[in-house]
Amino acid sequence: MKLTSEEQAMLDGAQGSATQKSIEILRALGKIYGAERLIPVTSVQISGVSFSNLGEAGLAWLSEMAAGGGRARVLATLNPAGMDIENWQALGITAEFARDQQRVLDAFARMNVITTASCTPYLIGNTPHFAEHIAWAESSAVCYANSVLGARTNREGGPSALAAALTGRTPEYGYHLDHARQPTVRVFVDADVDENSDYGALGKVIGERLQGSSKVPYIHGIKTATVENLKSFCASVATYGGVALFYMQDITPNAASVSLLKEQFRISLADIQQARDSMIDAQPEEVDFVSLGCPHLTIREIARIAELLDGKRVIKEFWITTARPTKQIADRAGYTAVIEAAGAKFAADTCCVVAPIKGRFKALVTDSAKACYYASSKHAFKTAIKPFDEVVLSAVEPLGSKA
Ligand code: F3S
């Protein structure tokens, strides 16, 4: 792989050991994937933030990179951490975990990484434009950036994303290149989808059909989709199929002509219903945990939760997961006060998947297909996927009951 003179100097250690290690990581990755060169990136999103995933070994590596002079050269933010950084006690996080999680965040801060911990960086200022080369790690955000924003990123791992931040570069392969971004299969959706959980179920169906194929779907038949629907779809199709790029006719940018594509398949309403049913194994009476915000909630979704909870009483553990800056808007708009008065809890900076809550609950209700997947596989919870409003209402005292 060809390096510029500046990159060669980085490799020779002229800019410190952390930069040197970073270039080594990127060069090794580039060699594996046949990249000819490194290219500049303008935005980075780093995964591997929860101490429950990193452990002491991961923290030691971050500390070493910080001590080795590693400093982010481009805008870099974090994926969710294992706790609400300001309000971890309310979520039942132990003091020991909180201390370790804070050590992780401090290491990132020493490297000038912005410690906003969110899987929706595109909602809070880390927002690339069409055709911008970036290096993001969170699979749902990668899919959203490539497909909805039209930016260009591979799915980075934690170390390669950090290396991109510390050098401002990434190897040029995969979704940075035009040929890898061409649609390869047409998908016709013969059903109306209009709700986050519908989009999650649709993402599961398409993802499972494409799993392991690296195919880029071009999806027909979706009439309208909100930002919230699209982030839900991205999270699901990435989780169930590893899809990092799709096109949706008349909804996402740069949907090139696909009339010559031979491969295609159709999705029916029954397929979507079957996918939805497969994510429900919890009985209503077993539900002891309710969570919204996978991926992290938009301010519009928080406003809707406040509207639905106004004057009601929450009787289940109910987490509202979002990015810290979005919560700050909710604070100012008065939504937080309404939601907390009802008894729901904000879980900013974290989520029901990366928080260390394995085995703590029996059954989760959510509107997220991705959350169903990980709540079951990682935390051993039963799950039920429902439409957004029904999720909120499943956490509250039934009408007419006495306190
Ligand atoms: Fe985000 Fe956690 Fe879901 S990182 S996409 S809320 S699993």
Distances (CA, A) of 196 to 128, 231, 298, 365: 24, 9, 12, 14
Predicted confidence at residue 400, as pLDDT, reads 61
Dist. CA 235 → ligand 1 center (Å): 8
Nearest CA to ligand 1 atom 2: 351
pLDDT per residue over 172-199, tens digit each? 999 999 999 999 999 999 999 999 999 9
Ligand 1 neighbour 80 (Cβ under 6 A): yes
Ligand 1 neighbour 235 (Cβ under 6 A): yes
Our mutation pick for probing the ligand 1 site, out of 351, 352, 357, counting the most ligand atoms within 8 A of Cβ, is 351
Find all residues with CB under 8 Å of 85, minimum gap 6, and list them. Answer: 101, 102, 105, 115, 117, 324, 348, 349
Identify the CA nearest to 360 among candidates 317, 397, 390, 315.
Answer: 317
Nearest CA to ligand 1 atom 5: 295
Report the atom number in ligand 1 closest to the C-alpha of 119: 1
Distances (CA, A) of 140 to 28, 52, 339: 25, 20, 26
Q: Above 70 in pLDDT, residue 40?
A: yes
Q: Give the mean pLDDT of 287-307.
A: 98
Q: Which residue has the higher pLDDT, 402 or 47?
A: 47
CA distance 224 to 210: 23
Report the atom number in ligand 1 closest to the C-alpha of 120: 1
DSSP secondary structure string for all residues of 33-66: TT--BEEE-SEEEE---SHHHHHHHHHHHHHHHH
Nearest CA to ligand 1 atom 1: 295
Dist. CA 221 → ligand 1 center (Å): 27
Nearest CA to ligand 1 atom 6: 294
Ligand 1 neighbour 370 (Cβ under 6 A): yes
Q: Which residue has the higher pLDDT, 401 or 149?
A: 149
Q: Above 90 in pLDDT, residue 320?
A: yes
Ligand 1 neighbour 354 (Cβ under 6 A): yes
Dist. CA 24 → ligand 1 center (Å): 30
In this prediction, residue 98 has a pLDDT band, given cuts at 50, 70 and 90, of very high
Dist. CA 296 → ligand 1 center (Å): 7
Q: In what order do the strands lie in the sheet with 185-190?
A: 247-248, 217-220, 185-190, 264-268
Our mutation pick for probing the ligand 1 site, out of 294, 319, 383, counting the most ligand atoms within 8 A of Cβ, is 294
Ligand 1 neighbour 54 (Cβ under 6 A): no
- Decide the pairing of beta strands 169-171 and 38-40: antiparallel
Structure token pair of residue 399 = 């009408």
Identify the CA nearest to 133 among candidates 149, 119, 153.
Answer: 153
Find all residues with CB under 8 Å of 315, minimum gap 6, and list them. Answer: 343, 395, 396, 397
Identify the CA nearest to 145 among candidates 121, 163, 167.
Answer: 121
Dist. CA 256 → ligand 1 center (Å): 30
pLDDT per residue over 340-377, tens digit each? 999 999 999 999 999 999 999 999 999 999 999 999 99
Predicted confidence at residue 130, as pLDDT, reads 96
Q: Above 80 in pLDDT, residue 399?
A: no
Nearest CA to ligand 1 atom 7: 353
